[in-house]
Structure 1
Amino acid sequence: MKPLISYQQTLEILTKVALNHPWDQQQTVDLPLALNHMTAAPVNSPIQVPSFDNSAMDGFAVVTSEVNEQLQQQSKASLGITGRIQAGDSDDVSVSRGLTAPAQAWEIMTGAPVPKGFDAVVPVEAVHVDGDQVIFEKTVELGQNIRKAGTDYDIGQPVVGVNQVIQAQHIMALATVGVKKISVKKPVPVALFSTGNELSDDENSSGLAAGKIHNSNQPFLRAYLSQIDCDVTFEANCQDDEAAFELLLNQAAEKQVKVIISTGAVSMGRYDFIPSILKKRGATVHFHKAKVRPGKPILFAELPDGTLYFGLPGNPIAAASGARFFLTPLLRMIKGMPPEATILAKTMCNIDKKQGFRTFAKAQLSLSKTGQLQANMLTGQGSFQTHSFAESNCWLVLPEEAEHIAAGEYLAVLPMIPGSLTVS
């Protein structure tokens, strides 16, 4: 029996394999459809934003010196209201000015272009309107309440970089500079299989037959994969039947998927047939079993046609941790993304664990009253227990060498979904 390899060794294997499987297929999509996809190229702003000097609030556009010079001589300044400008008006507002022209103010609305020659906006609540005159009692600061052209984006300024996972805030920025379509990498096509005679397809939640369980892995993994830019193009359930499983592999090959993910049938039991079938089909098994908990039986292989294969354990939390800590790093690498940044949090309780195993624990991340990140390892850490998984907002990573971890130590935490972080 081969010795178990460490989690770090599995990452080194995944890195080597990923170098031979870059994923750079691209497609152009309408901007609203880019959510959760990855940019295929950087996007720079084609325009200035704002494209013209505009008012930051409702008020009056003035020439600063005309107000301040009056206030130097008297307690109040009075300017005639000679026009009104609202948002959507042309930015080429013509205002007659000259040495003999009387001082004037233009009523202006938020977002409206500032008339040429005017250099400040005084909010409406700071003045008094008397007929066609506006009265000022305080000096005006040059440039106040004016949003200058290009102060948000200048022409050529980066908006999003390459390999950026598009979220709603990026869509706002791209829409602001007028982007309507964007080039993104196509989602990685995957096949998803669940194995086991115990899995029930009965849609009646109260009608489970004896010995049967609902399949929680399939809907979880389908949802998780959609959040990390994968496209489940083929999925199926399979009983503990080798011929039926081989048929599924053939069908996945016809679909030309990049990755096959299965749950169950990878341990050492009588019906754990996946390792032997993969070897029979000429697959290279890069690793099978690792020093991790949950999910020790994790399997990673490569089929002769180059399809990558992850055999995840059948227990739901083991399947979830396998997807998070093995599948996800590989997908990030083949798509050209950098490794995830490590976040450290103070543990809230004493922890005992099996020495020599990297352990992925269900946990809740929160902020202390002083702003300290702290992680509380939840009760119910069994790989079959989903109630505590539903209460989690992060994974707490317990290092291999530790056997006893004292409350107050700092450990790595990772969000449930890469790139997200929720703090309660």
Structure 2
Amino acid sequence: MIDEFDDALALANDPRLAPPRPAPRAEADPAWEAARATAHRAVAPLPPRRLPLDLALGHTLAAPLTALTDLPAFDTSAMDGWAVAGPGPWTLTCATGALAGAPAAGALTDGEAVPIATGARIPDGATAVLRAEHGSARAGRLTGATPQPGADVRARGQECRTGAELLPARTPLTPAALGLAAAAGYDQLAVRPRPRAEVLVLGDELLFRGLPHDGRIRDALGPMTGPWLTALGAQVLVTRRLGDDADALREALATSRADLIVTTGSTAKGPMDHLRGVLAALGAELLISGVAVRPGHPMLLAELPGGVPLVGLPGNPLAAVSGLLTLAEPLLRALADRPPVPERAAALTGPVTGHPRDTRLVPVETPDPGGARPLSYAGPAMLRGIAAASALAVIPPGGAEARQRVRLLDLPHP
């Protein structure tokens, strides 16, 4: 038996009898998650710059925000009423009292009180604040129940001490964060600026006003792509409509001042799809030539000779959204040095048909945090589903069953 096995093995290994080798296959498109990782690694964070607080909204902290002062900077009153020293009743020492923004009233000794406004500095010697509704002043005398020591006093350093870290680096600057920076003593902040983006709309078949006619269709991507990039953290410089003019495209790419260029359409290899040829003529490096995702698999990522990344979105609307969230979103996060969004999952309320080999992105509603309802009108050229969706469900190859938990990509909102 062993001899028979050895004979069979030798026969199988005889190169003269081996079946012909299949022709080498073209390199497969990268998986969806691998493409997102490639996009994130393709760029370095933009250099930091200093901006005044009124221009810093939406940018990202380039360094930790540390307090330049104690907060509060001194003991202040939390209520309107009287600053009191010791137990009552008390003698009022000042008719005008302590006002917010004014120097502290004179020091108090036991049995003395002074009127005080919310936010005013607590006089030396005061032990508490008696609220206005809890006391009664008449003929220079104040009566009321003696408050507990420290009552309604915001103590110096209650929120933080000088040098304390208030926000870590990589924090996006919201209105509240800017208010905190102002309270902590800042006039300017070191930030990673919002990446500047330029949108180039390609395709002679597009109309920019009126109803479709004579084989031409309305441009849905021009009005959508810029606002979507803004919601993803970009500063959109301009949206330009170039048609299928290869020379105009070459000039636009060579003269752009953007940190990221996003094109719509022309990612395929049809007779009027000039994008790949123009990129090759300019000497751009094609980092991603397609992604194993539906819709949107013809999307591409290239690096222009000057180092500026270009994301090519397919011309179908939902396919373009897929490209924005697959390639543009991680690129913008890397440029702004923002941390990744925490992953979120939910259980599907119904089955979703999958692609045999590729990831599929499907618009869903999320009526409750744990559930995701697939929406209709989810074809590559459709926008009805995505317009009503709150997220895209990431469906693995082969599909997903009802109640199966899948990853969600929350859709940005300006």
Query: When the two structures are superposed, what TM-score results if normalisation uses the length of structure 1?
Result: 0.83
**Would the aligned equivalents of 2:60 and 2:338 in 1 still touch at CA under 8 Å?**
no
Q: Tell me the CA shift for residue 218 of structure 1.
A: 1.8
Q: Deviations over 1:160-206 (max 9, x none)?
A: 3322221111111112223222222233333321111221133xx4x
Residue number in structure 2 paired with 1:116: 124
In the alignment, the residues of structure 2 paired with residue 374 and residue 89 of structure 1 have an alpha-carbon distance, to the nearest angstrom, of: 55
Q: Tell me the CA shift for residue 249 of structure 1.
A: 2.4
Residue number in structure 2 paired with 1:74: none
Q: Which runs of 5+ in 1 are unaligned?
A: 68-77
Whether 2:55 is the aligned partner of 1:41: answer no
Q: 1:80 to 1:304 in 2, by over 3 A?
A: closer
Q: Following superposition of structure 1 onto structure 2, how do residues 349-368 of structure 1 map, counting pairs within 5 Å?
A: 349-367=350-368
Q: Which runs of 5+ in 2 are unaligned?
A: 1-25
Q: 1:140 to 1:12 in 2, by over 3 A?
A: closer
Structure exhibiting the larger radius of gyration computed from Cα positions = 2
Residue number in structure 1 paired with 2:6: none
Q: Deviations over 1:201-224 (max 9, x none)?
A: 33xx4x543323322212322122
Whether 2:21 is the aligned partner of 1:8: answer no
SS where residue 396 of structure 1 aligns? strand
Whether 2:411 is the aligned partner of 1:416: answer yes
Q: 1:94 to 1:129 in 2, by over 3 A?
A: closer
Q: 1:110 to 1:366 in 2, by over 3 A?
A: farther
Q: Following superposition of structure 1 onto structure 2, how do residues 84-233 of structure 1 map, counting pairs within 5 Å?
A: 84-91=97-104, 93-97=105-109, 103-137=111-145, 139-202=146-209, 205=210, 208-233=212-237
Whether 2:411 is the aligned partner of 1:404: answer no
Q: Tell me the CA shift for residue 264 of structure 1.
A: 0.8
Residue number in structure 2 paired with 1:293: 294
**Would the aligned equivalents of 1:234 and 1:255 in 2 still touch at CA under 8 Å?**
no
In the alignment, the residues of structure 1 paired with residue 332 and residue 132 of structure 2 have an alpha-carbon distance, to the nearest angstrom, of: 55
SS where residue 311 of structure 2 aligns? strand
Q: Tell me the CA shift for residue 300 of structure 1.
A: 1.4
Q: 1:159 to 1:209 in 2, by over 3 A?
A: same
Residue number in structure 1 paired with 2:309: 308
Q: Tell me the CA shift for residue 96 of structure 1.
A: 4.7
In the alignment, the residues of structure 1 paired with residue 246 and residue 190 of structure 2 have an alpha-carbon distance, to the nearest angstrom, of: 37
In the alignment, the residues of structure 2 paired with residue 253 and residue 416 of structure 1 have an alpha-carbon distance, to the nearest angstrom, of: 32
**Would the aligned equivalents of 2:233 and 2:332 in 1 still touch at CA under 8 Å?**
no
Residue number in structure 2 paired with 1:248: 249
SS where residue 163 of structure 1 aligns? coil
SS where residue 166 of structure 2 aligns? strand
Q: Which amino acid aligns with 2:99?
A: Q
Q: 1:355 to 1:133 in 2, by over 3 A?
A: farther
In the alignment, the residues of structure 1 paired with residue 108 and residue 201 of structure 2 have an alpha-carbon distance, to the nearest angstrom, of: 76
In the alignment, the residues of structure 1 paired with residue 344 and residue 220 of structure 2 have an alpha-carbon distance, to the nearest angstrom, of: 29
In the alignment, the residues of structure 2 paired with residue 255 and residue 238 of structure 1 have an alpha-carbon distance, to the nearest angstrom, of: 14
Q: Tell me the CA shift for residue 234 of structure 1.
A: 5.1
**Would the aligned equivalents of 2:63 and 2:170 in 1 still touch at CA under 8 Å?**
yes
**Would the aligned equivalents of 1:365 and 1:376 in 2 still touch at CA under 8 Å?**
yes
Q: Deviations over 1:291-341 (max 9, x none)?
A: 212211111122334332211101122212211221111232244333321
Residue number in structure 2 paired with 1:384: 381
In the alignment, the residues of structure 2 paired with residue 60 and residue 257 of structure 1 have an alpha-carbon distance, to the nearest angstrom, of: 59
